[in-house]
Amino acid sequence: MTLKNIRLGRAENLSEQIRKKHNLPEKGLIIIESRNPDLHEEFKLIKEGGIRDYLLTLGDFKEVEISA
């Protein structure tokens, strides 16, 4: 499934129903991924300092040198 967009959000701003459905805690940074062709949303909790770990779940970075 292709990732089409992402939104940043807070678990504390979601309804309890959505938190329960997606097994989310009461607080924390979350990323809402929208995928298609079957419209599909995934809610992912990003742990403290964990943005790189999240990005690596989307794929490895290519080994390309970027000069200053």
Contact 10, 27 (CB under 8 A): yes
Q: Would you count residue 18 as binding other proteins (CB under 8 A)?
A: no
Query: Cα-Cα-Cα-Cα dihedral of 60, 64, 67, 46, to 10°?
Result: 0
CB of 17 to other proteins, least distance (A): 20
CB of 51 to other proteins, least distance (A): 4
Triad 11, 8, 27: Cα angle to 5°: 20
CB of 60 to other proteins, least distance (A): 6
Subset of 28-47 contacting other proteins (CB under 8 A): 29-31, 46
